[in-house]
Amino acid sequence: ETGVTQTPRHLVMGMTNKKSLKCEQHLGHNAMYWYKQSAKKPLELMFVYNFKEQTENNSVPSRFSPECPNSSHLFLHLHTLQPEDSALYLCASSQDLVEGIYEQYFGPGTRLTVT
């Protein structure tokens, strides 16, 4: 256990559905991240939050909408997704974005399938 939990672990949704992914960290960290991991492709950073403020949006389509109500929780709201959005979505946290503290702790991921 890394101290980062994600729910659900598996999700199948149609292109017209709306769903949300949830991430919770129990490490007292201040920075949280969403990544997309597709088969045989490198991890893609999607969003970064530091102290609840979004600090990075890596040109992610608007059908993905993040929400960070506090430093321990991070959501990814999904709507009108495409089949190519099927992937493993990973959440991570780190102490913060202060210089020199980079170690990120990853959750187990949500395996998303868009039909």
Give me the residues that bind another protein (CB under 8 A), please.
2, 4, 40-43, 45, 90, 92, 97, 102-109
Tally the C-alpha atoms within 13 A of residue 39's C-alpha that lie toward its C-beta: 5
Strand, helix or coil for residue 60: coil
Nearer to another protein, 41 or 70 (CB): 41
SS3 content of the chain, % helix, strand, coil (to 5): 5, 55, 40
CB of 13 to another protein, least distance (A): 20
**Residue 19 or residue 108: which is nearer to another protein going by CB?**
108
Judged by CB, which is closer to another protein: 33, or 64? 33
